[in-house]
Structure 1
Amino acid sequence: MSGTGYTVPARGARGTGRAERLFLVSPAFHGYHRSIARAWAAQGFDVTVHCYDAYATVPMKLRNKALLELPQKAGVDRTAARVAWDTERAVAALRAARPDRVLVIKGDSLGEAFWSEVVEAGLPRLLWLYDDLSRHDYSPEFLRAIGPVLSYARSEAEQLAGEGVDAHYLPNGFDPDMALPSVPRRDELVFVGSRYPNRVELLTTLAEAGVPVRAYGRQWSHHPVDRLRTWELTRPALPAERDIPLEEAYAVQAAAAGAINVHGLQAGHAMRTFEVPGMGGLQLVDRADVAEFYEPGEEVLVFEDAEHLVELGRRVVAEPSWGERIREAGRSRSHAEHTFAHRAALAQEWWT
């Protein structure tokens, strides 16, 4: 199947009998569900994937636009309608899959009917939050009832555990098997992601200091279509490109002199923390606590402020051999410890 659902057969061994069926419920965001499904298949599961917020067919797209998106933009709250639609489809997919276990990622538009179906069926389950708690509408009471809960942030896993939730820390990761397009090496720094004021300030400081830098994404792009899509006529005066798919983003960051990773107020480390070094890129990251995963100065570079980023940026552009040593060390560490397969193996001990 394609679109909102498909199956990945087991690739590992979990005993001599039938492979257990895992129902993976995920947002469509950047296609991460494909990589995660392959990682769980390597644990010996037959994985059926359902993307609860993907509207794959033309009628679904039209319904989403006419009944949900346009009214929302006009100020009409259609959240309940979206939850009802996403939940109805997820329940139908769950019943069709007849799984042995359920792994839900985020699940932010799944209603009570879906969770009741899982609980009443007595299915072992995991809820994986791979971004901040503040981006979810889950109460502690709900999480205590539905756990185990896996959080990408150690601090939030500890917070939830203190509130009586069966919570565990599971960092993000990357997919080493993703096929990358060919991208020529560029002597510039790149940033791929959303445009926030702190990111504009950082990239502008680099450009004004003479460090070549390029941003990727619709909020940075000067293309007229992207200006219309975002209802903005002005853009930062920076070299910029349009949105690119995940595999191209991997390749662009690997080919650049350095890839900038700006977290802002996120509690845990974003996927990019592992993607950039994992794909052979030289990461310049704003979080000293990256030392939990990589050795600063040897496997990644940590910057303290804009001026420090300028200093490091100038050096990685001027001394490519220095950067090569760091990127190779970061790649080796990533493949040895930080793939989605490593995360999937770790999570197996937490099933209810």
Structure 2
Amino acid sequence: MRVLLVSPGFHGYHSAISAALVARGHDVTTHVYDDHGGLAGRTWHQLRHQLPHRVGAGSLRRLAREETTRAAAMVDQTRPQAVLVVKGDRLGEQFWAAIRRVPRITWLYDELRRTQWTSERLQPLGPVATYSALDAADLHAAGLDVRHVPLAFDHRLVPTPTRRRDQPVTFVGARYPSREHVLAALVAEGVPVRAYGRDWSGHPVDRLRTWRVGAPSIPAGRDRSRAEAYDLMTASVATLNLHGDQDGFTMRTFEAAGTGAVELIDRADVEGLYEPGVEVLPWSQPDELVELCRRSMADRAWTDTIRAAARSRTLAEHTFDHRVAVLEDAWDTA
């Protein structure tokens, strides 16, 4: 079918979803609804929308209207036979009206409370998929057509990850207080650790991008592309997957395992996706995490078996191809 994929640009995951749809025989057009068009466009976006919003001089409603108009125009232009919307909470009625008679599904990679969605707003928009098992249960109870669809690994991005072991324990991702607390505890115990991302970096450009003056004391590097992050995790002694206040499993859950990294995950309920202690290494207390880090540094034979098992399970069950097959089934009921 002619499929229109409407997605935010978040880390380029739309490319993985598009490739999975193409692999299933579809003709895919991707519309990135928050694409601002290169460096000049991003700068203008910051000045026109983000800066006034941050200083309390304006809202983001105008931005939402512009994104909605562009997305609706893309529907008219492509005349899709099916539509997959990723997140989409900033898109207004003009867009949803344009796809009302088209088979469709909306896939959420965040909890409802962190988006502009409500069950009432989602009710008339067609099938919903969510990475959150709790949200799936609540939406089902509210009468929505909903599926629990976890996130996934982009196995096409780095088909053969690096096999170096020259990086310390790493964390790749946004900086939140709970995550900073974990990394600081490891540093205090003498565990070599390094965080990557613009929120951690002390580089002047990253401080400007994140509207801050200082930087945390944790050793840090700048942003990495997704491909670079995949190789970085694999090249690490072990890599951290830190959730905090989330019930859905992050993309990193599947990416770290899929690249063949030693994944230190702060979730004991990962069973069902991965086998704890065999494919991933859960922990709940700081001393457990420290012990796992030290064993990962000392026992390569042990970690090699974990790396192989994690990658094998991911490629067999947790790629975007697997997820798209589930999403595709929902179009029949739209």
Match of 2:93?
A: 112
Post-superposition offset of 1:187 = 4.8
Which residue of 190, 193, 208 corresponds with 1:228? 208
Q: 1:201 to 1:139 in 2, by over 3 A?
A: closer
Residue 126, structure 1, aligned to residue 105, structure 2: yes
In structure 1, C-alpha distance between the alignment counterparts of 2:290 and 2:65, rounded to whole Å: 49
Name the % identity: 45
Which residue of 27, 30, 37 corresponds with 1:46? 27
Match of 1:26?
A: 7
User: Secondary structure of 2:269's match?
Assistant: helix
In structure 2, C-alpha distance between the alignment counterparts of 1:156 and 1:292, rounded to whole Å: 18
Post-superposition offset of 1:305 = 1.6
> How do residues 231-242 of structure 1 correspond to structure 2 at under 5 angstroms?
231-242=211-222
Post-superposition offset of 1:183 = 8.1
User: Secondary structure of 1:295's match?
Assistant: coil
User: Secondary structure of 1:186's match?
Assistant: coil
User: Secondary structure of 2:94's match?
Assistant: helix
In structure 2, C-alpha distance between the alignment counterparts of 1:234 and 1:62, rounded to whole Å: 22
Which residue of 78, 82, 89 corresponds with 2:70? 89
TM-score normalised by the chain length of structure 2: 0.95
User: Secondary structure of 1:333's match?
Assistant: helix
Q: 1:273 to 1:118 in 2, by over 3 A?
A: same
Indicate if the aligned counterparts of 1:288 and 1:302 stay in contact, CA closer than 8 A.
Answer: yes
Post-superposition offset of 1:235 = 2.3
Q: Which residue type is aligned with residue 269 of structure 2?
A: D
Residue 334, structure 1, aligned to residue 314, structure 2: yes
Cα-to-partner distance string for 1:26-75 (whole Å, 9 max, x where unaligned): 00000000001011111221110000001115664454233212221221
In structure 1, C-alpha distance between the alignment counterparts of 2:32 and 2:293, rounded to whole Å: 39
Q: Which stretch shifts more, 188-197 or 218-227? A: 218-227
Which residue of 132, 136, 161 corresponds with 2:140? 161
Q: Which residue type is aligned with residue 172 of structure 1?
A: L
Cα-to-partner distance string for 1:256-292 (whole Å, 9 max, x where unaligned): 0101000001120010000001011110000111112
Q: 1:88 to 1:63 in 2, by over 3 A?
A: farther
Residue 36, structure 1, aligned to residue 33, structure 2: no
- Say what the alpha-carbon RMSD is for the aligned residues: 1.6
Q: Which runs of 5+ in 2 are unaligned?
A: none
Indicate if the aligned counterparts of 1:25 and 1:105 stay in contact, CA closer than 8 A.
Answer: yes
Indicate if the aligned counterparts of 1:187 and 1:317 stay in contact, CA closer than 8 A.
Answer: no
Match of 1:65?
A: 46
Q: Which runs of 5+ in 1 are unaligned?
A: 1-19
Q: Which residue type is aligned with residue 299 of structure 2?
A: E
User: Secondary structure of 1:331's match?
Assistant: helix
Residue 178, structure 1, aligned to residue 170, structure 2: no
Match of 1:199?
A: 179
Q: 1:228 to 1:68 in 2, by over 3 A?
A: closer
Match of 1:323?
A: 303
User: Secondary structure of 1:91's match?
Assistant: helix
User: Secondary structure of 1:236's match?
Assistant: coil
Q: 1:329 to 1:58 in 2, by over 3 A?
A: closer
Q: Which residue type is aligned with residue 174 of structure 2?
A: S
Match of 1:140?
A: 119
In structure 2, C-alpha distance between the alignment counterparts of 1:322 and 1:99, rounded to whole Å: 50
Indicate if the aligned counterparts of 2:104 and 2:330 stay in contact, CA closer than 8 A.
Answer: no
In structure 1, C-alpha distance between the alignment counterparts of 2:163 and 2:310, rounded to whole Å: 20
TM-score normalised by the chain length of structure 1: 0.90
Q: 1:59 to 1:195 in 2, by over 3 A?
A: closer
In structure 1, C-alpha distance between the alignment counterparts of 2:205 and 2:329, rounded to whole Å: 48
Cα-to-partner distance string for 1:99-151 (whole Å, 9 max, x where unaligned): 101110000221111001111xx100101001111122123222121120001
Residue 98, structure 1, aligned to residue 79, structure 2: yes
Q: 1:237 to 1:77 in 2, by over 3 A?
A: same
